Amino acid sequence: MRRCLRCDEEMIEDLDVKVEGKAYGLKVTQEGIFKDSLGKLKCAVCLKCGYTETYVKNLSKIRSLMINKNN
Ligand SMILES: [Zn+2]
């Protein structure tokens, strides 16, 4: 469960971030590598103040980047 950084309220999570007018979502990529998605951006919204934060739900690809970096 995610709590709002501003007012400590419980947030609604697992919402999608879209480009307005389009159905595309946003993804996280590594600089220079545009075709490889490291994870889809999800967002959570605080119902009290409207604060919105984005996060990556599936961290396996990003974690594997760190493992490759440390080798
Ligand atoms: Zn809030």
Q: What is the pLDDT of residues 23-70, one digit of tens each?
A: 888 888 887 765 678 888 999 999 999 999 999 998 998 888 878 776
User: 56 CA distance to ligand 1 centroid (A)?
Assistant: 20
User: 11 CA distance to ligand 1 centroid (A)?
Assistant: 8
User: 46 CA distance to ligand 1 centroid (A)?
Assistant: 5
pLDDT at 10: 97
Provide φ and ψ at 20, rounded to 5°: -60, 135
Distance CA 15, CA 33 (A): 25
Distance CA 52, CA 62 (A): 22
Q: Per-residue pLDDT for 16 more than 70?
A: yes
The model carries a pTM of: 0.75
Residue 25 is encoded by which pair of tokens? 């979502």
User: 8 CA distance to ligand 1 centroid (A)?
Assistant: 6
